[in-house]
Every structure is written in C-alpha cells, then in structure tokens.
Amino acid sequence: MSNNKKTQSWAALKEHQKTLSTLHMRDAFDDNPKRFDEFHIALDGMLFDYSKHRITGETQELLMTLARSCALERYRDDMFAGEAINTSENRTVLHTALRGSAQPRLEIDGENIDSFVNQTLKRIESLSDKVRGHDKITDIISIGIGGSDIGPRMVCDALADNASGPHMHFISNVDGGPLSALLDQLKPEHTLFLIASKNFGTVETNTNAETAKAWLMDTLSEKAWPEHFIAITQNSEAAKAFGISDYNTLPMREWIGGRYSLWSAIGLPIAISFGFREFKALLSGAQAMDEHFKTAPLEKNIPVLMGMLGIWYRNFFGFTAQAILPYAQALESLPAYVQQLDMESNGKHVTRDGKMIEHATSPIVFGGQGTNAQHAFFQHLHQGTDIIPADFIAVINHEHGLDNHHTTLLANALAQAQALMQGNGDGETPHQDFPGNRPSSMIMLDQLDAYHLGMLLALYEHKAVVQGCIWDINSFDQWGVELGKKLAQNITDALETKAVLEADSSTQNLIKHISLRKE
C-alpha cells in the first residue's frame, strides 16, 4: 500500500468482507424492497442496475473511502487536465480531448490541442464525404491491428444496420488467408485501403499493406494506385515513403493511446460507413459520459461504481474473471473490445513507480452475446466452482419488426441475471441445486445508436482508469507485448534464411521441424 489512509481503507474492507460471508443477495432483496431504488443510476437513456451485487450501503461507503484514499478524483482530474499520467512513457493521456472533454486551451509540445482536434475532425469529414460520394469506390479495406482495428471494427459491427457507405472490410491478422480471400473477390479500381498504424511500423499492418500495394500495382498505373490508399498515422514520412500523399494522410499524436483511439482519425471507417454526423454522435455520447465521470459524486458515478465493484471482487473475494454479456447480436464484438481495454490496460505487475504489486490486478475478461452464450459457458457461471461477476448489456428498443424475438431476448437477459442471483435450492437431486449469490450488473440502453454506444464505450474506458488508479499502476502502456515482437523478428529471419538461431532447444527444434516439413 502506498499510504496510511489507503492501508487503513484496505484493511477496513477486508474486515467488512468477512461480515458479508453469510449474506445472500436473495435475502437482501427480501429484507429491503427498495434495494433496486438504492442501487441503480439512470443517465440519459442508460440505466445501471447494481443491486444484484454482494454489497450493502456500508460496503459502498467503504469502497468510496478507498477511492478517495487513492486520490481517485485528483487522478481523474489530472487526466482531463493533460498531466503526464502515463509515467513510464512520460505522456499525457488525452483521448477525451478528441470528443471535446479535456481542459480547454491545452498545449502539448507547443501545439494547441483544441486546434488539432478541430482540424482533424474537418479532415475526417472532408475525406469521409469524398469517399462516400466517390462513384467508383465500392469496397474499403481497413488494415490495422490492436486498437487501430478492434475499436472501429466493433462500432461498425454494432451499427451495421444503418450503414450507408461503401462495403467496409477489416484486416488485422498477419495470417494471409483472410486478405487473400478478400482480394480474390474485389477489383482494384473499386477498392480503397485505409492503413491505420500510429507509427507505421507494426509488422502485421505493414505486411498486409505491402500485399495490398502489390495487388493494386499489378493492375493500376503508377499514378493511379497511390490514390487508393489513405493513411492514419503519426509517422507521415513513412506513409509518404510508402507512396501515400500528405492529402491522404490523417494525423495521430503520442497522447492518443491505441486502445483509446477510435475517437481519433482511427475512427475514419466509422465516418465513411455511417456519415460524419453519426461519427459526431458517437463522440457526443462519449462526451456525455466524460462529463458524468468528471462531475458526479463518487457515490453516484457509474464508472467509479463499476470500477470499485471490480476492485471489491478481485481483491477482497479473490474472483479471477469478469464476464461481458451483451444481449444484442450487434454487440457481438464488445467482449473482445472490453477484454483488450481491461487486460492490456491493467494486466500489470508493478506500480507506477516500478515496485512489485502486492495484490491482484486485472481479472481475465471474456464473454459472448446472449442468448448464444447461454448454450456455451453459462453452465460454469451458474454451477462452476469459480464465481465470475458478470455485466449484462441489454437494449430496450429495436429496429427490426420481430417484436416477439426481442421480448424473448430481453426476458432471457433478465432471467439469467435473476437466476445467478437467487439460485435454485429446490432441485430433485444435488445436480440440479446451485446456490446463486453470483453478482451481476445490468446495463440497459434505450436504443443502440451511435450516441448511446459512445456512452457505453466511454463508460468502460473510465472504469479501467478507476481500477488502474486504485491498483497504482499505469493503465496506458503495454511493455509486456514488446519482447515477443523482437523475438518474432529473429525467428522470421531464421525461417527465411535457415540460419541457426541462438535460442532454447524447443524453439530451435520447432524452427527445424517447420523447415523440414514446409512444402
């Protein structure tokens, strides 16, 4: 623990957790008919119900005391003010500036942030309008990986029913199968590529981009093929060396983290697919959640409550996982998005000042969409030996005409959350009994549109920030992935040249096996 107040708060929560060891939420609801009233928050078309958690009013007070002892409010304010809270890289964290939520008139390295954001938005609007109005472009392939891919891909999937632009495709994996199959279906003269890479040096993205370039050059003239590329990058010189003009290059900045970048020019696929107005609606929804996070008291602050509930289960109950369960097929990609956001942000083992952490950090995040997931891993949620807190995400209104389908979908979401909470002690055999008392949140959106999707995504972003603050870790770097990248390059060289690599015997012999078996 970093200070006496935090140590005391942590100890108080440990003692309090012992007093709740016999509390069953079923009894808590029976004892307090107003439990839902006390443990839910409504905000601008979003409802957050956290009444099905193993908490009392005292629990909430103690969790907020812990948050204040960790200076959460100051940490939050420092982020919006442009302080360098990414300490290991000495960077500011200003993805919120992209949706107009950072402190006004900020300057970073002599550049006015408001001016940069406004100019970038104008470029996004101009380019997206140009592409949408182009009479020959029918298909767009967005090439990126990690945050440069999963955010825009997830939003485009979620809002797909309202798409009005050219067909949007996403390629991320360096596995050549998906790109090869896609290129076989398309025509170069009707295809536009978006290269999304902050440093224009990611191996997977560059490999896919070079293949796309060669495919275009086989058919198009030296003058024509560069017009079939748009780059989103901080490294404009590398984009120019690749052959992409300055006009077709949208800028990035160091203070835009990859997994927080869909609000930036990385979100160009969203603007192209749905129009710039919808992209702005997405930003507006995120801005609304930013404002709530900045101004609501901690006890009524949805990201804070979500984050502190996660702390409660991870550190005081020892629960090791978190399930994300969207009851909307359109949100099928949301669990993977939250998985990256949480586990890449908070999967750390040292504090911000480099000391070994004494407690658990990020849980394993996984999930699936309802009702499919009910026929996959829900058995484990109900009767497994691990207790896994869950987030249910439901959408009240729908745009299709099958009302009975949607009623069944919503009924299943409510029923599964209820079953996890109350359990079943009336089975005819022990196999049919399960205790319940398994916590979940219910997040309900009035409708799944760009605005409310923006709110939802910003909510999960801020939840990760809250937990990083409590764990005293840097949620904005990802050094753990770098070693594998370096080793992969050495192994690539060995596979291509058949040179002997200085490595462990397993790696050496696997390389040898590949070389011998390769056709």
Q: Which residue is catalytic, options 134, 300, 355, 375?
A: 375
Q: How far apart are CA 289 and CA 295, in angstroms?
A: 10
Q: Among 316, 260, 283, which Cα is nearest to 124's?
A: 283
Task: Tokens 């990201």: give the residue.
Answer: 303
- Cβ-based neighbour number of residue 499 at 10 Å: 11
Q: Phi and psi for 424 in degrees, rounded to 5?
A: -145, 110
Q: Across 304-407, where does the E strand assignment appear?
A: 321-327, 364-367, 390-395
Q: Which residue is catalytic, options 187, 300, 485, 498?
A: 485
What number of residues does the chain have? 519
Q: Which residue is catalytic, options 344, 348, 452, 462?
A: 344
Sequence-distant (≥ 6) Cβ neighbours of residue 301 within 8 angstroms: 292, 293
Question: 456 with 393: CB under 8 angstroms?
Answer: yes
Strand pairing partners for 49?
Answer: 40, 442
Q: How far apart are CA 199 and CA 204, in angstroms?
A: 12
Task: Tokens 């809250």: give the residue.
Answer: 466
Tokens for 178, please give them. Answer: 């998906």
From residue 455, how far is each of 158, 182, 281, 289, 460 by CA, in Å? Answer: 14, 33, 10, 5, 9
Tokens for 383, please give them. Answer: 């009767």
210 included as an active-site residue: no
Q: Tell me, rounded to whole angstroms, the distance of Cα 205 from its chain centroid.
A: 20
485 included as an active-site residue: yes
Question: 194 with 232: CB under 8 angstroms?
Answer: yes
Q: How far apart are CA 503 and CA 320, in angstroms?
A: 34
Enter the DSSP assignment of 312. Answer: I
Strand pairing partners for 366?
Answer: 323
Q: Among 167, 201, 195, 196, which Cα is nearest to 182's?
A: 167
38 included as an active-site residue: no
Q: Across 165-222, where does the E strand assignment appear?
A: 167-171, 191-196
Helix crossing, 276-295 with 113-132: angle to 10°? 150
Q: Among 99, 423, 136, 393, which Cα is nearest to 270's?
A: 99
Q: Which amino acid is at 318?
A: G
From residue 163, how far is each of 11, 259, 265, 276, 364 by CA, in Å? Answer: 52, 23, 19, 12, 33
Q: Which amino acid is at 257?
A: G
Q: Which amino acid is at 100?
A: G
Burial class (CB in 10 A: 0-12, 13-18, 19+), 337: buried
By DSSP bridging, strand 321-327 and strand 191-196 are unpaired
Enter the DSSP assignment of 377. Answer: T
Catalytic residue numbers read 344, 375, 485
